[in-house]
Structure 1
Amino acid sequence: MLEQEVGLALVERSGRQVRLTAAGQLLAAHAEQMIARLLVAEEDVRAIGQLGHGRLRMATFRSAGESLLIDAITYFRGHYPAIQISVVEGEPEEYMASLRRHELDLALTYDYDGLDGQLDEGLVREVICSEPILVAVPSGRHYERQPLRLADLAQEKWIASTPTNAVHRFTERACAQAGFTPRVVMHTDDYHIAQELVARGMGVTFLPEMSARSHHRGVDVHRLSDVTLSRRIHATYRTGGDRVAVVAAIRDVLIALGAP
């Protein structure tokens, strides 16, 4: 009997009623988790080599989600309409734990120059694209030097990411390359909000090229001539995930869309 194997009582009997002991409840919880993992594994195995059915669970950050991922999902849905697709939006710091727990199949992540974070051994990431980092200034602001140098903005107020975001240190480190410490006056992780603040004269900010494609009409966007800054976007998944057909397929679509 199982009780003899574990050496503990797993049920308590009172008349005709039977209930689990604390040890029994713990064992049952572990059993439920094992069954859930087996069901997920079974779905993954069935999905290998076929795209006729299945599910695809993804996560994205906003700037990639509203352009790159939308295009990828549109293409994917058109070619594999039977695949059930779900997407959550946030920051990688928020959803990477879900990827590790097998609650997601693939996540879009990023790294900026000087902020390349370490990846868990159980995860793999592949570069989808690399894009330059630009700078957004209030429209009509004229600078003596053209093209614009980052050093020309040393006296400006800056808008940067919040301290909870992995990009928080980027503004300081990027400006250090141009020889100054930025005077950061506001923080936001939303590039749309950052552009609105720039348009209203609250400061200047960095923008990835992807976010600058539809920039605010009150904002001018410049390439920088004295420093080279870039962001890389990755398709990140668990080790071995590319053997699952749906994961490999959406990864290939994303890489194709991100190609220059």
Structure 2
Amino acid sequence: MSNEGAVHLAIEGPVASITFDRPEARNAMTWAMYQQLRRHCEQLRENKAVRVVRFQGAGGEAFVAGTDIAQFQDFTSGKDGVEYEHRIDGTMQLLAALPMPTVAVVQGWCIGGGLAIASTCDFRIATPTSKFGVPIARTLGNCLSMANVAGLVAAFGRPRVQRLLLLADIIGAEEAQACGYVLEIAAPEDIEAAAQKLCGKLANLAPVTQAVSKEALARLLRHSLPDAEDLIRRTYGSEDFREGVQAFVGKRPPVWKGQ
């Protein structure tokens, strides 16, 4: 595995900025980076001076290109997959529980775990060449938790999520904006100004109203969410998942056997 990367937190006035910093790996998340993200969310949740939180990737080529797949080589059973998905869900719950509005500033690839992070944010702005997807049916042969699937359906709608998960399609910025997932598209040289403008507008609105509105929307999403641990255990315990990991690390096409 290459270096573990870092997730930085900076606060300037009412705006907090969280940066995923591992550009040589398109900001793919390591376990250490997920832990840092959790700590930052826990810290910000109690900071009443922060009125908006923005998330961005370093390097300009990616927001977050998923979880570092090399880490999955240590998985030996479906139980490892269940524990991993619970860990990801817990991180997303902390992000979603931030009482202030959140903005994902996307440049380039926003894939897998990166899509989960961006989808958990309240708003997304992107550059014209940004790409959104969960190509696990083509690359890794794993699956998503029920909470993650529900979040994607709420953000994209079921037909597009079927394309993302079953066809391993990648959705471009224009389509993402057309379906309401992306709020605004800005050129790379203009996206920082667009992010500052959006964050400034959010920071000037009523924080209690924003907080209770976020919680109301979250409760709608959580209502009667079914369990899917058996599906996760089956997928991560499969021979296909182990083949997907080894094929990705070995830079060769996977050979799926349906086992």
**TM-score normalised per structure 1:** 0.24
Which one has a bigger Cα radius of gyration?
1
Higher RCO (CA < 8 A, seq sep 6+): 1
Structure number with the higher strand fraction is 1
